[in-house]
Amino acid sequence: MANPRRNSYSNNTENTFQLQYHSRLSSLKHFLKKPLAFPLLLSIFLLLAWICLRLQHSSSSLSSSNLHEIKSSQEEDEKANLIKFKSGFLSSKDKRGWLLDPVSIALEYGIKGGAVSCFSIHVGEIKPGGVRGNHRHHTCNETIVIWGAKTLFRLENNQIVDKGYAEVIVSADEVAVAASPSGTAHAIVNMDRTHTAYILGCQDSMINNNSSATDFSVWKDL
């Protein structure tokens, strides 16, 4: 059974604590109203401001490292003569989704050497693990759009020492526009386990499959 004396004792102490708490609170209120409290409030304010600045600084140094990542990936994209967009970014102005003109996007973003007009167009899919291209057309410039899956785009680039090509990975949530000038080899590999990649190729002349117009299986590792 509970001890009534002990209960009343603990009730008393609780009451005393509450009284003390209230009296402290009211004396704090009094104190804050005095001009003496001003420096204290000011220093609390300064402390909070300092904490805010620190937090902002750490987040801005984070975004500058992100910026570095974006910049170096942009350099890789440039070597592969390609521009990538998050599909969410492209569709942000249109609830129906994205729609683009690859020729004008290439012009706008300095992707050079592609087809300026589409004499011939190919649209197709690449199932997971599949490879398209890996050839070098000698009689047409080509502008290529890639989307739908994690896809590797490889473009011949003799400025890349040893390899002789540049590579970029296009994520499943990205849309890429690339250009492969006449006489430049290109390959597209679907690296995705599940998603199908889609491509559109716009060529400025009829692609001729004969061996003098196109070199096939340029890279043996694909």
Sites of contact with ligand NAG (CB under 6 A) = 113, 139-141, 182, 204-205, 207-210, 212-213
Q: Residue 194 is encoded by which pair of tokens?
A: 């599940």
Considering the complex, what minimum distance in angstroms separates the CB of residue 213 from ligand NAG?
Answer: 4
Query: By C-beta, is 79 or 122 nearer to ligand NAG?
Result: 122
Considering the complex, what minimum distance in angstroms separates the CB of residue 217 from ligand NAG?
Answer: 11
Considering the complex, what minimum distance in angstroms separates the CB of residue 126 from ligand NAG?
Answer: 13
**Taking CA 154 as the corner, what is the angle to CA 206 and CA 174, rounded to the nearest 5 degrees?**
95
3-state secondary structure of 97: coil
The Cα 219–Cα 147 span in angstroms is: 23
Query: By C-beta, is 141 or 151 nearer to ligand NAG?
Result: 141
Considering the complex, what minimum distance in angstroms separates the CB of residue 137 from ligand NAG?
Answer: 9
Q: Which of 155, 144, 146, 154 is nearest to 196 (CA)?
A: 146
Query: By C-beta, is 106 or 140 nearer to ligand NAG?
Result: 140
> Which of the 8 DSSP states describes residue 195?
P
Query: By C-beta, is 87 or 139 nearer to ligand NAG?
Result: 139
- Tell how many helices (H) and how many strands (E) occur in the chain: 4, 10
Query: By C-beta, is 134 or 151 nearer to ligand NAG?
Result: 134
90 class by beta-carbon count within 10 Å (0-12 exposed, 13-18 middle, 19+ buried): middle
Query: By C-beta, is 158 or 210 nearer to ligand NAG?
Result: 210
Considering the complex, what minimum distance in angstroms separates the CB of residue 145 from ligand NAG?
Answer: 18
Considering the complex, what minimum distance in angstroms separates the CB of residue 112 from ligand NAG?
Answer: 7
Q: Which of 180, 4, 123 is nearest to 168 (CA)?
A: 180
- The number of angstroms, rounded, from the C-alpha of 90 to the middle of its chain's C-alpha atoms is 12
Q: Residue 43 is encoded by which pair of tokens?
A: 């220093």
With the C-alpha atoms ordered 113, 117, 122, 126, is the resulting torsion angle positive or negative? positive
